Structure 1
Amino acid sequence: MKSLVAFSLPLLALSAPLKRDASSAPPSFRINKVVSGGSGCPQGSIDVNWTNNGILPIYFGKDFTASVGPSVTADHSRKNCQINLDISYSPGYSYSVYSADYTGYANIESGVKGTVAAHYYFSGEQATGSTSLTLQGPYSGKYVKQDDVVTGVWSPCGQQSFLNVNAEVALTPLGGHASGQLAVNKETGRFANQLYIQWRQC
């Protein structure tokens, strides 16, 4: 697990992921269905589309925002989003998420800690990739969280399997005097959060 701490920086940006060779991508692939659920992304509130054979952009809505403060109830302190991606592709291939970028904004007062976390796994498989980013208040501005996912999390060969992404934003402590907001989106509009896909032949 990766944990990073930012102190009052206007922008936290990590180095871009290394590009993978796209020549191993299958001849055909498409998204059949996207199912989302959770307090941060009710069904129908996100968009997922292919831009090419190696990138999956995910657009989160304003629901994916955690908040704390004197007048904020505890259920707003953590928001999660469970995404299930049904992807079909040519037989004889397997794929994995090797990296991901989550872009959002934070407005956190001193004494408040924010966490952006994500977990990646395939339905029916035990392997899981998990990453987290920590923002320590005071912090105000945009952030970029880049995940380096363990390459052992591959879809099973010879069969289709749902790709599951479980992401969350959370703030602590609850019920304090300090306030904060943490979002995986933009204050006015939407950021594209990228999943980087690599392929291999079985």
Structure 2
Amino acid sequence: MRFQTLTTLTLLPAAALAAPAPLDAEPAAAALAPNNVHIVGGSLLGSGCPSGPVDIRCDGSKTRLEIVFPEFSVKTGSGTQASDWRKNCKLTLNMEFDAGFQVSTRTTSLRGYAQLPSGASGQCSSTFDFTGASGSSTYTTDLDGPRQGSFEVTASANAQRWSSCGGTTAIMNVNTQCSISPTSQNAQITIGHSSRPVVVAIEWRRC
């Protein structure tokens, strides 16, 4: 297990982020957000966490996060062992924002590279929860072989959860896991390179 402090936090204008396909069909006018949103710190823990700094970007609308895991990769087959077949990385983000709001996640867009032969299948999931609030939201992406090359898959949550009301902070926990089966075939999935970050759409509402 590796533990590190989140070292790169960036707030960018909305136009500065390369925009993939729209995360959903809702009009932009529906995006309610506080005037001030800051990511003030965080940490990483897990077998899939990168050895270098992690990059978190929030666009100017405060409704989109980009997460880069530079070395998050799972693989199976010749020369691999159990620790290569399944990995996870738990990201904890400390957020500050204007009073009177709650935050939630809406969709995730998983972007990466997969090399899966016929008969192999991969799965990646991200589970979100907020410290002090009940429940969690899980987004699951299934990748079936044969497949080779870049991919982008957008997933919706099994349930929507909100941070608690009554404060100006929220701790968002994101546990991302990837695995491949069967483990006897040569296969690999890599997610979150700098050019293809994981995109998380977030939503705000008034308390």
Shift of 1:70: 2.2
1:96 aligns with 2:101: no
- Tell me the alpha carbon deviations over residues 64-91 of structure 1, each in whole angstroms, 9 at most, x when there is no partner: 1000002211110111110111000011
Structure 2 CA distance, aligned partners of 1:167 and 1:154?
A: 19
2:190 match: 183
Question: 1:59–1:28: structure 2 CA closer, same or farther, 3 Å change rule?
Answer: same
Shift of 1:98: 0.8
Secondary structure class of the residue paired with 1:161 = strand
Question: 1:151–1:112: structure 2 CA closer, same or farther, 3 Å change rule?
Answer: closer
Structure 2 CA distance, aligned partners of 1:131 and 1:183?
A: 17
Deviates more, 1:134-143 or 1:149-158: 149-158
1:6 match: none
1:195 aligns with 2:200: yes
Structure 2 CA distance, aligned partners of 1:54 and 1:104?
A: 22
- Aligned pairs for 1:80-91 (under 5 A) are 80-91=88-99
- Tell me the alpha carbon deviations over residues 112-164 of structure 1, each in whole angstroms, 9 at most, x when there is no partner: 21111111111122221112122122211111121212563011001333111
Contact 1:104 1:142 in 2 (8 A): yes
Structure 2 CA distance, aligned partners of 1:142 and 1:23?
A: 30
Question: 1:131–1:147: structure 2 CA closer, same or farther, 3 Å change rule?
Answer: same
Shift of 1:61: 0.6
2:144 match: 136
Ranges of 4+ aligned residues in structure 1 off by more than 6 Å = none
% identical aligned pairs: 26
Unpaired segments ≥5 residues, structure 1: 1-12
1:54 aligns with 2:54: no
Structure 1 CA distance, aligned partners of 2:45 and 2:134?
A: 21
1:121 aligns with 2:126: no
Structure 2 CA distance, aligned partners of 1:14 and 1:24?
A: 21
Q: How many residues align?
A: 185
Shift of 1:14: 8.3
So what's the TM-score if we normalise by structure 2? 0.81
Structure 1 CA distance, aligned partners of 2:112 and 2:54?
A: 15
1:17 aligns with 2:37: no
1:67 match: 75
- Tell me the alpha carbon deviations over residues 25-69 of structure 1, each in whole angstroms, 9 at most, x when there is no partner: 11211000121121111475321121121111111112x100000
Bigger RCO of structures 1 and 2 (CA < 8 A, at least 6 apart):
1
Contact 1:22 1:54 in 2 (8 A): no
Shift of 1:190: 3.6
Unpaired segments ≥5 residues, structure 2: 1-19
So what's the TM-score if we normalise by structure 1? 0.83
